[in-house]
Amino acid sequence: MISVKSVSHHYSGGQQIAFEDWQIEKGEQWLLLGNSGSGKTTLLHILTGILKPEHGTVNIDGTAVYNLSSKELDRFRGQNIGIVFQRPHLIKSLSISENLAIAQSFAGLPADLNRIDEVLTSLGIADKKDAYPEELSQGQLQRVSIGRAVINKPALLIADEPTSSLDDKNATAVLNLLLQQSQLNQATLIVATHDKRVKDAFTNTYQLT
Amino acid sequence: MSPLKISWKSLWSKPLSSALNIMLIAFGTGILTILLLASTQIGDKLDKNSKDIDLVVGAKGSPLQLILSSIYYIDFPTGNIPLKEAMELANSPFVKRAVPLALGDNHNGIRIVGTDSNFVSLYQLKTKEGKFWSGDFEATIGATVAKNERLKIGDTFYGAHGLSGSSDIHKNHGYVVSGILELQGNVADNLILTNIASVWKMHEEHEEDHEHQVTDGTEEEHDHEKHSHEGHQHETPEAEEKKELTALLIQYRSPMSVAMFPRLVNETTNMQAASPAQESTRLFSLIGVGVDTLQWFALLIMFIAAISVFVNLYNSLKERKYDLAIMRTLGASRTKLFGIIMAEGLMLTIAGTLLGILLGHMILEFIGSNQESSQAQLSGFVLLFDEIYLFAGGLAIGIFASIIPAVQAYRSNISSILAKN
């Protein structure tokens, strides 16, 4: 249901990078492996419609992502793709539940407070609903960012180095949450990492060289 | 969660810098509001009081002073003019109506004006209580005078010599309040009106008193002078000739008078003619310099405020570009980010402008209520149409300050921002 075909990208420095074709079926959980500088982030950006590749196509659930207009693409991403970044990057001026609510509103979906409660409860941080980001620990913030990524029940959940800034205990917890949340929301999961702690949990891997 | 609420929340997360920006804008707008209100009100007052008066005839001297003293009652009169010559002018074919004024006394700083019924018709005065003055030493007082001095019909008060100060009180005759005027919204509110004869009589006796005192002391020196005075008093027409007025307010009979009459006065008599319209314009251009300076000062503040809002947004954009990129990944379009940044700038400037306009009104009301001079009382409870320009100006500053940051937010390349992490 997700296919990446003959994609290549040209960095502004002049360097050319080509990616192997990639076919991902619905509900699969993939690990994207590669050392830093190997193009992991570039491939993720291409996959999520953030960066238009020079050549090749990305197809998600039958939609050719780069045929959409800028506005349609933003909307499509909001509704179909959830992204977890290395750092949580929540909006400081908004409370935890408001941070999830803007994800609903930006995606053009109606505000659904029950869904917010549901997600926060499943992540074990329902009591932090009205707190502001600066009151939470790194581990808690990363959970909120997972919550934000799954709030709209995306078809594709992508995590870019989600564990690299966390200690062992939190890294395991976050990884388990990602696996659990992708199953719970029937989302395809792709985790990009160079973190060896993560590898064992996945059977499918896409290796960048 | 609407984009507006995001902007709102973002402003509240930096209360100090938001407050600083709002204050700067409010300060600039406030000064402009005060200037606008004050100059409009002063201008209106000048116009209202000189309405229907085409010319003022008085003793030679500064024409501005003549206008100020005999229309606005704020400066000292230029001197006196002989009644006989004044009456000749009043009966001239060029003149539709001439209002004689005899100034010289005050009651607690309120000017006592000796005049006739022409004054009533010129200013279209109406009494609220009682009647207009008729006999000697009857006075009709303005509404504000009645209120401030707590005078009622039938009360007696004394005039003092001069236009302010009460050291030299005319105790021989008291004025009796015969009527109180309705609130007119012009100079009449702050005047005491009586007939001309009362003013004369007050002073005849006054002068005689002085003469007695002088002759008692130094008889020799003043003997000649005294003699000549006595000589006058024997012959009634000449005594009449000695009588004087302070000024004559003239209404022209036809537009043609404009060209002829002032020249007639200035060239053939020992008096001068001054045009209220001309002198008001001159006065306004004098005040105008100060107003202009303040205006530039206020505009400078507004400009600094605009820069400050710009810097504030621009800096916060640097901190927030990652936030904004995340918003894009969450589905927000470029236009939405543009809107969020614009809304932040506009909220700051609109809040500042509205606060400034409000403050301007309040401060002017405060100044007005503490004002000594009752002839130019200012009020803050007046809303002018022109204030909409102030509001538009504030809006323009908001747009000016936020457009560059907003365009940057619109254009930002989220991939490179997110990749840098």
At residue A9, what are phi and psi to the nearest 5 degrees? -135, 150
Q: Is B415 on the interface with A (CB under 8 A)?
A: yes
Interval B33-40 mean pLDDT = 88
Contact B31, B393 (CB under 8 A): no
Q: Which tokens hold the place of B18? A: 């938001």
Set of chain A residues whose Cβ sits within 8 Å of the Cβ of B2: 105
- The fraction of chain B above a pLDDT of 90, given in percent, is 28
- Give the C-alpha separation, B169 to A123, whole Å: 92
Q: Do A50 and B334 touch (CB under 8 A)?
A: no
- Residue B33 reports pLDDT greater than 70: yes
Contact A191, A32 (CB under 8 A): yes
- Nearest CB neighbour to B332, from listed A85, A106, A148: A106
- Nearest CB neighbour to B331, from listed A78, A87, A93: A78
Q: Which tokens hold the place of B240? A: 């009449």
Q: Do B331 and A103 touch (CB under 8 A)?
A: yes
Q: What is the DSSP letter of B183?
A: P
Interval B41-54 mean pLDDT = 82
Interval B164-169 mean pLDDT = 75
Q: Partners of A99 in the beta sheet?
A: none
Interval A113-126 mean pLDDT = 91
- Nearest CB neighbour to B1, from listed A74, A105, A108: A105
Q: Is A142 on the interface with B (CB under 8 A)?
A: no
Set of chain A residues whose Cβ sits within 8 Å of the Cβ of B330: 77-78, 102-103, 106-107, 148
Q: Do B421 and A93 touch (CB under 8 A)?
A: no
Per the listing, tokens 């001439």 go with B98
Contact B271, B60 (CB under 8 A): yes
- Give the C-alpha separation, B143 to A181, whole Å: 81
Q: Do B415 and A148 touch (CB under 8 A)?
A: no
Q: What is the DSSP letter of A135?
A: G
Q: Would you kindly state where each structural domain of chain A is located, as residue ranges?
A: 2-207
Q: H helices of B184-275, where?
A: 196-217, 219-234, 236-242, 257-268
Q: How far is CA B345 from CA B173, B338, B391, in A?
A: 69, 11, 14
Q: Which tokens hold the place of B380? A: 């803050």
Interface of B with A in 318-357 (CB under 8 A): 322-323, 326-336
Q: Is B2 on the interface with A (CB under 8 A)?
A: yes
Q: Do A106 and B334 touch (CB under 8 A)?
A: no
Q: Would you kindly state where each structural domain of chain B is located, as residue ranges?
A: 3-46+287-420, 55-274
- Nearest CB neighbour to A89, from listed B326, B334, B414: B326
Distance in Å, alpha carbon of B309 to nearest chain A alpha carbon: 19
At residue B113, what are phi and psi to the nearest 5 degrees? -110, 120
Sequence length of chain A is 209
Distance in Å, alpha carbon of A176 to nearest chain B alpha carbon: 23
Contact A26, A1 (CB under 8 A): yes
Q: Is A106 on the interface with B (CB under 8 A)?
A: yes
Per the listing, tokens 């074990």 go with A124
Task: Collect all residues with Cβ–Cβ distance below 8 Å to B66 and sequence separation of at least 6.
Answer: B56, B58, B59, B77, B78, B247, B272, B274, B279
Q: How far is CA A104 from CA A100, A157, A160, B88, in A?
A: 7, 16, 21, 90
- Residue B233 reports pLDDT greater than 60: no
Q: Is A153 on the interface with B (CB under 8 A)?
A: no
What pLDDT shows up at residue B232? 41
Contact B81, B311 (CB under 8 A): no
Interface of A with B in 108-127 (CB under 8 A): 108, 111
- Nearest CB neighbour to A41, from listed B1, B329, B419: B419
Distance in Å, alpha carbon of A200 to nearest chain B alpha carbon: 26
Q: Do A41 and B327 touch (CB under 8 A)?
A: no
- Give the C-alpha separation, B341 to B324, whole Å: 10
Binned at pLDDT 50, 70 and 90, residue B207 comes out as low
Q: How many CB atoms neighbour CB A112 within 10 A?
A: 15
- Nearest CB neighbour to A50, from listed B1, B12, B414: B414
- Nearest CB neighbour to A102, from listed B330, B334, B335: B330
Angle subtended by helix axes B276-329 and B387-411, to nearest 10:
20
Write out pLDDT tens, residues B305-351.
889 889 988 888 888 888 888 898 898 999 999 999 999 999 999 99
Mean pLDDT of chain B: 84
Set of chain B residues whose Cβ sits within 8 Å of the Cβ of A75: 331, 333
- Give the C-alpha separation, B224 to B220, whole Å: 8
Q: How far is CA B272 from CA A78, B81, B116, B264, in A?
A: 84, 10, 22, 10
- Residue A209 reports pLDDT greater than 90: no
Q: Do B329 and A45 touch (CB under 8 A)?
A: no
Q: Which residue has the higher pLDDT, B280 or A144?
A: A144
Distance in Å, alpha carbon of B413 to nearest chain A alpha carbon: 9
In CATH, what is the architecture of A2-207? 3-Layer(aba) Sandwich (3.40)
Element holding A176 (H helix, E strand): helix A168-184
Element holding A36 (H helix, E strand): none
- Residue A56 reports pLDDT greater than 50: yes
Interval B261-283 mean pLDDT = 88
- Give the C-alpha separation, A123 to A178, whole Å: 10
Distance in Å, alpha carbon of A60 to nearest chain B alpha carbon: 16
Q: H helices of B269-386, where?
A: 276-329, 334-369
Contact A164, A41 (CB under 8 A): no
Determine the residue among A36, A68, A74, A77 to mutate to test chain B binding: the one whose Cβ has the most chain B Cβ atoms within 10 Å: A74
What pLDDT shows up at residue B99? 93
Q: Which is nearest to B106 in space by CA: B80, B77, B135?
A: B77
Q: Which tokens hold the place of B328? A: 């894009």
Interval B13-33 mean pLDDT = 91
Query: Which residue of chain A has the CA closest to B9?
Result: A93
What pLDDT shows up at residue A201? 80
Q: Do A45 and B415 touch (CB under 8 A)?
A: yes
Binned at pLDDT 50, 70 and 90, residue B376 comes out as low
Largest CA distance in chain B: 112
